[in-house]
Amino acid sequence: MNPRIQFFRIGVASCGVAAGAEEVRSRLEAAASVPVIGVGCIGHCYAEPLVEAVLDDGSSVFYANVKSDEKQIANLLELGDEHRFSIPEARKSKELIKVLALAGKVDPVDFDDYVRHGGYEGLKNALAMKPEEVVGEVKISGLRGRGGGGFPTGNKWGFLAAKKVPEKVIVCNADEGDPGAFMDRALMESVPHQVLEGMLIAAWATGATKLFIYCRAEYPMAIKHVSAAIEQIYAHKLNVFPDRTVEIIIKAGAGAFVCGEETALIASLEGLRGQPRFRPPFPTDSGYKGLPTMINNVETFGNVPLILREGGAAFASVGTEGSKGTKIFALAGDLKYPGLAEVPMGTTLREIVFDIGGADPAKVKAVQTGGPSGGCIPAELFDTPVDYDSLRTLGAIMGSGGMIVVGTDRCMVETARYFLDFTHRESCGKCTFCRVGTTRMFEILERITAGNGTEEDLALLEELGPKVKAGSLCGLGQTAPNPVLATLRFYRKEYEEHVREHRCRALQCNAFVDLFLDQSKCVKCKLCIKTCPVGAVGQDFTIDNTKCTRCNSCADVCPKKAISRVAKGTK
Amino acid sequence: MEGSFDYLKTLPDEPGNLIRGLQLIQSREGYVSDDAVRAAGAYFHRTPVEVEGVLTFYTQFKRVKPGRFKIAVCDGTACHIKGSPLIQEWVRQAIGIGPGETDAEGRFSVESVACLGCCSLAPVMSINGRVYGKLDRRELNRILKEYKEK
């Protein structure tokens, strides 16, 4: 007898919903006689909406890019062959899914489902141990902070545990601010209980009494799922320890990149402007309202239940000498399979970008790690293993795990300008070097991309960069020049072309580009004429480049791809 | 306290709750008006200038009344690389306003946001929280036309 469908799982995290998963879910629910369970993200964002049919023999059939029309729903119900999905082989062999193992498997807001899959076993084990033994176990695991800094987590826990005061605070930093990173969102949306279990274990180990989750307001689903999970924890009294009751509070951030910095985050929690302050005193000495406060990142907490389940030594068996365990990366940009990937520490960039991301080696120029605080790493250096220390030697950082693949048709000067545009606006304004320095650096990059740059501008960028780094109090200013310095280091040629030859080889900077209509491909459909907002396309199908704003609308609507960007002045 | 902001009383009046209070106001009113600044200050024991300082620090808060349809064009790294500046330009062409503006009829308002967290669908925008991904010119115009007719 053929296996029958036991139930369906459908990914309804933010990416899935944006791709239309809710419509598919309601159509499927109406048509199916078996349960349809909404789950989190399995990391294959390019395949959303993703439906998994779980069969009664325990196996599963996946369907990708499912649409909500009748034909496709019928195809799902009869286990048809259309839209079947399997994980690309090259990717499967490189991944090691541990932290994300339950993402996409359990209903995020179903407490029992999480427990059935081994949830809260780590907490149970921890409660059977003495707090200092738990801290010891985390030290043995070699876990380092996943938010970017890479500080040994066990040591941080030890600092807080050593404080002998009745009230202590733990904060989960879920203010995932660097554009291009979405690991923390996926964890909170898909397995909120796992993050909270990690926090409860930390609370037991360190004697904390109050737990905060400081989450970006831009993540409404994460806030909803974590809030629901907190209520379930209260209902099951998991926050009640033998000697005390722990309070768990979720707070929504209000949109400030700098609040990823510890002391700025604490100021924001206190309802103030999120400006960092001088350290020492370190938060573990004096943090939220003067209480000893420890801040860990979402993914760090997501790792903790595994350590307590399998033991610190087993956890440390994966990874490199200085970086243990796995790391989740958010892959985006110019590649075939954007999404989340979890790999052992020490996996090379080549494996992540090409084998997992499916990027075309001929079309990749660089990868940007660590968002606006990181640096770009050129394709020639892709054999670099990804761990905290190797990346730092290249002027990049691990950051929280955002990885943007930059294609050969992107301009590196423009990329640097983009990052400085972000950081100069996000600078809180406290330190002069950061406030004024990043603004000046941004203006210089604007000048260069607009065609008005000079040789002196390049020298000035190189002079300003290290000064901004040295003169800033917090991580924002200390890393803001990185994208500029890294691109200057690896792609100086492109900068020089902009200032000396007035040329942008990627044809991205508008100042150095004309639009050209190839008459031999044109079918005279007039779509370009109708679309052009400034009337730059004449009735004779030529483009008047003195009127054209290079908005690319014509090129985008042209059905024959007859319009292209060319170097300025090309005849 | 002015009657219309009575709902602030659902929060404890400690100063640390100011941001939550402002978020509550914005979710109810759509923006934070001058009256709201005074009301929040009075309730959370802060001066109006302190409230203003917090408001202007965080990008989430709006001091101008937004339109009925709030368009947020993502300009995160992935979207930027995939052409979000063009999306903004095209939105401007279609409805005549840019980031931070509300149109005269109060129908649309536009903002540029750091990251909606849907990088794999780049370029994306959201309208009243609903996310639209893999935008191109045609898709964008189709979506905007749909909202114009609402």
At A95-153, the pLDDT tens digits run: 999 999 999 999 999 999 999 999 999 999 999 999 999 999 999 999 999 987 889 99
In this prediction, residue A61 has a pLDDT band, given cuts at 50, 70 and 90, of: very high
Contacts of B19 in chain A (CB under 8 A): 251, 254, 268, 271
For residue range A359-395, what is the model confidence (pLDDT) as tens digits? 999 999 999 998 888 889 999 999 999 999 898 888 7
And the tokens for B94?
A: 């279609």
Strands B101-102 and B130-132, bridge-based pairing? unpaired
Which of A219, A272, A406 shows the shortest C-beta gap to B117?
Answer: A219
Strands A563-567 and A293-297, bridge-based pairing? unpaired
Superfamily of domain A111-315: NADH-ubiquinone oxidoreductase 51kDa subunit (3.40.50.11540)
Give me the residues of chain B with pLDDT under 70, please. Answer: 1-3
- Full DSSP string of A331-379: EEESSSS-EEEEEETT-BHHIIIIIIT---GGGEEEEEESGGGSEEEEG
**pLDDT attached to residue B2:** 47
A479 touches A469 (CB < 8 A): yes
Cα four-point dihedral sign A67, A73, A77, A78: negative
Our measurement of the distance from residue A117's CA atom to the centroid of its chain's CA atoms, rounded to an integer in Å, reads: 26
Alpha-carbon distance A77 to A568, whole Å?
56
Does A169 score more than 50 pLDDT? Answer: yes
Alpha-carbon distance A91 to A314, whole Å?
24
Its pTM stands at 0.91
And the tokens for A535?
A: 């009337």
Among residues A67, A69, A51, A60, which one has the least CA distance to residue A10?
A51
Superfamily of domain A5-86: Glutaredoxin (3.40.30.10)
A553 touches A524 (CB < 8 A): no
**pLDDT attached to residue B1:** 46
**pLDDT attached to residue A1:** 54
Burial of residue A443 (CB within 10 Å: 0-12, 13-18, 19+) is: middle
Nearest CA in chain B to A14: B118
Our measurement of the distance from residue A372's CA atom to the centroid of its chain's CA atoms, rounded to an integer in Å, reads: 12
A365 touches A378 (CB < 8 A): yes
Contacts of B57 in chain A (CB under 8 A): 256, 273-275, 428
DSSP letter for A394, please. Answer: T
Alpha-carbon distance B103 to B126, whole Å?
17
What count of residues does chain A have?
Answer: 571
For residue range A16-40, what is the model confidence (pLDDT) as tens digits? 888 889 999 999 999 999 999 999 9
CB contact under 8 A, A556 and B137: yes
**pLDDT attached to residue A522:** 95
Contacts of A330 in chain B (CB under 8 A): 119
**pLDDT attached to residue B79:** 83
- Weakest mean pLDDT among A292-301, A415-424, A454-463: A415-424
Does A79 score more than 50 pLDDT? Answer: yes
Alpha helices in A450-534 (DSSP H): 455-470, 475-479, 482-490, 492-496, 527-531
For residue range A510-549, what is the model confidence (pLDDT) as tens digits? 999 999 999 999 999 999 998 887 889 999 999 999 999 8
Alpha helices in A430-474 (DSSP H): 432-449, 455-470
CATH topology of domain A513-567: Alpha-Beta Plaits (3.30.70)
Average pLDDT over residues A409-432: 94
Does A164 score more than 70 pLDDT? Answer: yes
Domain definitions of chain A by residue range: 5-86, 111-315, 326-407, 412-501, 513-567
Residue A14 near chain B (CB below 8 Å): yes
Q: Nearest CA to CA, how far is A73 from chain B (Å)?
A: 22
Alpha-carbon distance A468 to A163, whole Å?
35
Contacts of A415 in chain B (CB under 8 A): 81
And the tokens for A372?
A: 């606006």
For chain A, what percent of residues have pLDDT higher than 70? 100
Give, in order, the Cα–Cα distances in Å from A541 to each of A449, A527, A545, A548. Answer: 29, 10, 12, 13
Does domain A412-501 bear CATH number 3.90.1150.10?
Answer: no
Nearest CA in chain A to B115: A179
Q: Nearest CA to CA, how far is B122 from chain A (Å)?
A: 8
Alpha-carbon distance B9 to B25, whole Å?
12
For chain A, what percent of residues have pLDDT higher than 90? 83
DSSP letter for A460, please. Answer: H
Alpha-carbon distance B27 to B21, whole Å?
10
**pLDDT attached to residue A371:** 84
Count the Cβ atoms, other than its own, within 10 Å of residue A7. Answer: 14
Among residues A219, A207, A186, which one has the least CA distance to residue A302?
A186
CATH topology of domain A326-407: Ubiquitin-like (UB roll) (3.10.20)
Our measurement of the distance from residue A61's CA atom to the centroid of its chain's CA atoms, rounded to an integer in Å, reads: 28
Alpha-carbon distance B148 to A175, whole Å?
34
A266 touches A171 (CB < 8 A): yes
B90 touches B144 (CB < 8 A): no
Torsion of CA A280, A281, A284, A285, to 10 degrees: 140
| H or E element, residue A249 | strand A247-252
| Residue type, position B142, single letter | R
State residue A440 phi and psi, 5-degree precision. Answer: -65, -40
Give, in order, the Cα–Cα distances in Å from B92 to each of A452, A551, A557, B108, B124. Answer: 26, 11, 17, 11, 16
State residue A181 phi and psi, 5-degree precision. Answer: -115, 135
Alpha-carbon distance B119 to A331, whole Å?
8
Q: Nearest CA to CA, how far is A345 from chain B (Å)?
A: 23
A341 touches A329 (CB < 8 A): yes
Q: Nearest CA to CA, how far is A212 from chain B (Å)?
A: 13
Name all domains of chain B by residue range, CATH numbers in brackets: 3-57 (no CATH), 69-148 (3.40.30.10)
**pLDDT attached to residue A197:** 98
Across chain A, what does the average pLDDT equal? Answer: 94
